[in-house]
Amino acid sequence: MIGEKVGKYTILDIVGSGSMGSVYKAEDPEGRLVAVKVVRSQVLCSMEKRERFLQCLLVASEIRHAGICPVLEIGDDHDDFFIIMPWIQGQTLEHYMERKPIPWRHALEIALSIGSALEAIHNAGAPHRGLKPANIWILHNGEQSVLLSDCCVARFTEIGTPAKSRSSIRCVSFADTWIPFGALAYMSPEQVRGESVDCRTDVFSFGAVLYEMLSGRHPFDARSSLSRISAILEAEPVPLASKQTSIPTQLDLILRKALAKNREERYQSMRQLSADLRSACQNTLAPRQRSAGSFGFPKWFFSRFGRTLSK
């Protein structure tokens, strides 16, 4: 497709391809770079799926948050859906980690940025449903920032009553069908069981991502889809403090609650989880450090994430 047009956008290069479609680097008529995600027509093979997919995209396009990659345009080109987003200059959290632990203070800085964006998505009435390191971008634009992509886009395997309004997509049913291994790794127990999902499924996915940032390994490591499903449904992650004594024990307690198999025992909102993460930061400071207001975070951290940690 190099050199061809999708809508008014000229394709410059292919960025990646997967089960849902392909992502291209393109430019608009004014020469500005954009990302074009083309969803193959075979994926949205029914009016029901197309309507649900479009409804989720419309919700995503209305969300305004500095930590969320906006949807600029939605279109239809020869029966293929395409989604236009800004071209992101940065790297995914997946590549940023490279299967190595991130220092816990820095990991919490990233996690709180992710949590803030997820709160905005949940306030719009829909879970992200696909949170994973490949959908989290680390930007280096003067000061490091975090951006979430693919927000509110229902998986192409979803089925159920077509969404008629924003409120109707609060819970979504999943088809019992093939899911890419990378996406499966961060799904909640209710997702892999094919049950309806809500914003608490993002809490579980968030917990899995944070665990991986802190440990350098997935909380439910497995070599096959079946063993991964079994681990998500039945296994408990190894406590972080048993492997890395530098990590505060409070974080293990927070992760245990975020990764609870029963969503009723999980954090009921990202707001609650983020508040506990900030509290864990505060409680790990020695009195002298707390009075000095120093925690190894950049100055903008305190204003971005609410209350200061100094007394």
Domains by residue range for the chain, with CATH? 5-86 (3.30.200.20), 90-304 (1.10.510.10)
Q: Looking at the DSSP assignment, which residues form a beta bridge with residue 36?
A: 24, 84
> Of 67, 57, 27, 22, which Cα lies nearest the Cα of 42?
22
The predicted structure's pLDDT at residue 107: 93
- Cα distances from 311 to residues 49, 165, 168, 276, 279, in angstroms, run 53, 46, 44, 18, 13
pLDDT score of 13: 94
* pLDDT over 70 at 198, yes or no: yes
What was the pLDDT predicted at 183? 72
pLDDT at 81: 80
173 falls in which pLDDT band (50, 70, 90)? very low
Taking alpha carbons only, the member of 187, 203, 208, 217 closest to residue 268 is 203
Average pLDDT, integer, range 191-209? 93
Rounded Cα gap, residues 258 and 204, in angstroms: 5
Residue 153: its pLDDT value, please? Answer: 62
Neighbours of 66 (CB within 10 A): 12
pLDDT at 97: 92
pLDDT of 180 reads 56
Mean pLDDT computed over 110-114: 95
Least confidently predicted of 2-16, 155-169, 209-223, 278-292: 155-169
pLDDT confidence tier of residue 150, bands split at 50, 70 and 90: confident
pLDDT at 253: 93
Task: Provide the percentage of residues in the chain whose pLDDT is more than 90.
Answer: 41
Give residue-wise pLDDT tens across range 19-64.
677 899 999 999 999 999 888 766 666 677 777 777 777 777 778 8
Q: Are 274 and 116 in contact (CB under 8 A)?
A: yes
Task: Give Cβ neighbours of residue 213 (< 8 Å, ≥ 6 apart).
Answer: 93, 97, 101, 102, 107, 110, 111
Spacing of C-alpha 98 from chain mean position = 17
pLDDT bracket for residue 187 (50, 70, 90): very high
Phi, psi of 163 (to 5 degrees): -70, 130
pLDDT-based confidence at residue 282 (cuts at 50, 70, 90): confident
pLDDT band at 119; cut points 50, 70, 90: very high
In the predicted structure, residue 1 carries a pLDDT above the cut 90: no
Report long-range pairs for 285-290 (Cβ below 8 Å, ≥24 apart): 285/309
d(Cα 134, Cα 182) in Å, to the nearest integer? 9
Which string of b and e fits 16-37 if b means at least 16 CB within 10 Å? eeeebbbbbbbeeeeeeebbbb
pLDDT for position 110: 94
What is the mean pLDDT of the segment spanning 215-237? 90
Q: What local confidence, expressed as pLDDT, does residue 21 receive?
A: 76
Query: pTM here?
Result: 0.80
- C-alpha 278/C-alpha 103 separation (Å) is 16
Q: What is the mean pLDDT of residues 235-253?
A: 84
